[in-house]
Chain A
Amino acid sequence: MQITQPMAENAEHRRENLFVRIVRRLADSRELTLFVLVIALALAMSIVYPNNFPTASNMRAVLLNLAPVGILVCGMMLLMIGGTFDLSVGSTLAFSGVWAAVVAGWWGWPAEVAVLVGILVGALCGLVNGLIVTRIGINALIATLGTLTIYRSLTYVTAGTGVTPITDAFAEYGRAADPLLRIQSPFWAMLVLVLVGGWLVARTRFFRQFYFIGGNPRAAQLSGIRVDRLILIGFVIMGALAGLAGVLGAARLNSAVVNAGVGIELKVITATVLGGASLKGGEGTILGGILGVLFIALIENAMIINAIGVFWQGLVVGLVLLFAVSLDRFKTSGRA
């Protein structure tokens, strides 16, 4: 009886009109939905504002600004596929940036070492998050809400009002631009991470295990997947990425700001969910996540060019998020 159900649905399919079929097709792939939306938005903006939107400088600004969120989305997507998440990324980002700046600016160590220290501090923050979640067994919402305030506080304790300026050699890590497109390094770092991360998560056996963990953690455990160990690794990766974002951000400004990344965790989670992740876990791709980031960045850019004002941004982003997630209701292959 249950087998006949999909067949009956298929028969109905043929009778459906074009519009419904398009909606279904879009609903089946969040990446496709977002891709269409991004292209549509870019085209509309290019036609309405040919002098402001499709310019090299505007594009450079958009791509550079989305870099930190884009880097964080890679880690957040991995965690959310595994059914968990990290709220402390903004604090980790600031803490790592400040430590890199302290090492380079105050202690005068070489810039390379400072960059490494920054990433390691981030990874360490992630390790602590992961240990709290997997060993002590506190749920991720509360655990990382706790470390969000702890890491932020440690940032203030470490550097007071921040480290400005750092050093020119260190700043070069965030400012170096390619000769052709002249986009600065944070964007290129993000691009590499998205490509490599996208391949790893989509294709490799190791990262595939996160989908099983998110799909049903108990079944994954009983299938011989080391659930706790992998979740711990996920948190360390998330922390290291936040560390990298913090280091690059500090380098680009040649200044480690103690308030860097405040509130970024919600932006990242918004983009991740928009990109196809589910709070229950087991779903999503890095490609989807980065398209989510791109789409939000374009909307923000459009609002600025429109001079509609930043106050309206949240409204639009929120509506788009609810719209995209509600498309799931039209999926052809839902759960029973």
Chain B
Amino acid sequence: MAPRLEIKGLSKFFPGVRALDDVSMSVEGGEIRALLGENGAGKSTLGKIVAGVYSRNKGSILVDGAETADLDEKAAGDLGIGIVHQEGSLVPQLSVAENIFAGRQPTQWLGQVDVRAMRDRARVLIAQLGVAIDPALKVSTLSPAQSQIVEIAKALSRDLRILILDEPTAALTLTETEKLFDVVRRLAANGVSVIYVSHRLAEIFALCHSVTVLKDGRLAGTRSVTETSTDELIRLMVGRDVHFSRAAAGRKIGDIVLEAENVDAPPLVRSASITVRSGEIVCLAGLIGSGRSEFCEAIFGARRRRGGSIRIGSKPIDPRGPWDGKHAGIGMVPEDRKAAGLFLGMDIVNNVAATVLSKVSSGANFSNRKAEALAKNFVNELRIATPSVRQIVGNLSGGNQQKVLLAKWLAMEPRLLIVDEPTRGVDVGARSEIYRLLRALADKGVALLVVSSDLPEVLALADRIVVMAEGRTVGELPGDGASEEQVLRLATRYTASVAEVRKEPGMAEA
């Protein structure tokens, strides 16, 4: 029997870039296939071509043995190919049911939408996924995980044969991810082929049957998950072995730079305390939603604080805005580099100058010469790959953007640098460079507070690990010799006990 999906010699060119080069693969019915690769390896492009979002330049796509003509989104949908996009494609102001049947709502006489029929059918679809979401709810009221499930239900509203999931867990918590996996497994058990685009290796081993790795738009290999290992997959992705080993000890850890006590910033931060010393890298670990970023924002002044004290070098500060934090010598590299970190439409020079306008000025005059010199320094020092310092930052790759973002904060020479998710959306090669940079900063005596959801990263970087749960700092581990299990146990044990405590009043009512 022909495979569910067969791709032969697929190529796709964008102006100046060869996104896919002669890629072939085939997926059976009921198979969950991971599509793995660094950023820019072409995995999303491949998914989008199969779903008809992009057209192909060369190659053929066969569904159940039948050759497909040029696909567009509608043709792909008619063939039973559905895609759940990375960024989501739901209209938040409309109801779940309307989103599921967008443009194809069941109608009564005169083309009137049959709301009741639409909701009933939506409810049935969602129930097939093993969850319950009221189809009358507005999408804006749903959690990210629920939205993903609605997107899948939307794909399911047609006769679904192939489902493409493009980094679906990026915004999900651990429990939500588990729920999503259940849904995906259930679909596969019903014979749907799933293409799961991701760069989270752990997820691939937990969910998928097989994995296809792309590198620079070419096929690097296909493996069954039972016959491969993390190391092999990383080697396929980057073409070399990468180890995030801990740096040799021997850094001088000095005086206390940051001392935050019982910081209270509702609703997400209840009572958090931390100290960071000069030359020390402290990692703040915890589950998504545990209040880590919010705690950092409160220290920096980007979030209103209700109580607690913050001292920088034994001097109490009361930051009312980011400018106060900056004035006290704190720098903060935010998690969302595009929305909150960089000026994507501006060049490297201006991005680097944004935090140090007074430093690159002569009197009241902004000095282009000084700003350019500063930017050139950082381009060399951080090895930012760019044709010139006048390059628009939006045109750089993720890893280089992240370096520009770091440069922006290094320019002000902070005493304390807070880095929220230092390597989110950064490929493996640039990662180890960013680790090297952060260690070099600590060597120079900067106090570093790093928020990370990536446990191998935490274990590789941290001199000390502070764990948060439910808005509180719940435990501390030395970085050396800590294990992922220890961190997770701290992060989840507390959550579980809180959940139990909460259950009690409910039980009393019953």
Contacts and interface: CB of A to CB of B under 8 A. Distances in A.
B355 A6 contact: no
Contact of A282 (B343, B364, B365, B386): B343
Contacts of A206: 364
B343 A216 contact: yes
Interface in B375-424: 385-387, 391-392, 394-397, 408
A221 B355 CA distance: 10
A9 B358 contact: no
A209 B346 contact: no
Interface string A1-36: 111111111000000000000000000000000000
A1 B395 CA distance: 11
Chain A's interface: helix, strand, loop or mixed, by majority? Answer: helix
B288 interface: no
Nearest to A206: B364
B318 interface: no
Contact of B366 (A208, A335, A336): A208
Interface residues of B, number: 41
A282 B345 contact: yes
Contact of B342 (A216, A225, A333): A216
Contacts of A222: 302, 322, 332, 334, 340-341
Given A219-B340, A225-B354, A226-B323, A3 B366 contact: no
B322 A224 contact: yes
B354 A2 contact: no
A9 B15 CA distance: 9
Nearest to A213: B343
A216 B387 CA distance: 24
Contacts of B64: none
Contacts of A329: none
A204 B342 contact: no
A333 B347 CA distance: 10
A282 B357 CA distance: 16
B325 interface: yes
Contacts of B365: 203-205
A223 interface: yes
B387 A205 contact: no
B341 A5 contact: no
Contacts of B366: 203-205, 208
Contacts, number: 114
Contacts of B358: 205
B394 A336 contact: yes
Interface in B292-309: 302
A218 interface: yes
B343 A335 contact: no
Interface in B324-342: 325-327, 332, 334, 339-342
Nearest to B385: A3
Interface residues on A, range: 20 to 34
A211 interface: yes
Contacts of A220: 343, 354
Contacts of B346: 211-212, 215, 282
Contacts of A9: 15-16
Contacts of B322: 221-224
B326 A224 contact: yes
Contacts of A335: 344-345, 392, 394-395
Interface string A189-211: 00000000000000111101101
B17 A2 contact: yes
Contact of B387 (A6, A209, A219, A336): A6
B408 A223 contact: yes
Contacts of B361: 204-205
B40 interface: yes
B403 to A, nearest CB: 13
A218 B332 CA distance: 13
Interface in A283-330: 283
A211 B350 contact: yes
B40, B350, B354, B361: most-surrounded residue (chain A CB, <10 A): B354
B334, B366, B408: most-surrounded residue (chain A CB, <10 A): B366
A82 to B, nearest CB: 13
B178 interface: no
Contacts of A282: 343, 345-346
Given A205-B364, A282-B343, A5 B325 contact: no
A335 B391 CA distance: 10
Nearest to A2: B397
B342 A336 contact: no
Contacts of B397: 1-3
Nearest to B409: A223
Nearest to A333: B392
Nearest to B371: A208
Interface string A63-92: 000000000000000000000000000000
B261 interface: no
A223 B364 contact: no
A1, A5, A220, A335: most-surrounded residue (chain B CB, <10 A): A1
Nearest to A207: B366
6 contacts: A2-B17, A6-B16, A215-B345, A219-B339, A219-B342, A221-B302
The 9 closest A-B pairs by CB, nearest first: A224-B326, A8-B16, A215-B343, A5-B16, A205-B361, A224-B323, A336-B394, A223-B354, A336-B395
Given A6-B391, A6-B395, A212-B350, 8 more contacts: A7-B387, A206-B364, A216-B339, A216-B345, A221-B321, A222-B332, A224-B355, A336-B395
Interface of A: 1-9, 203-206, 208-209, 211-212, 215-216, 218-226, 282-283, 333-336
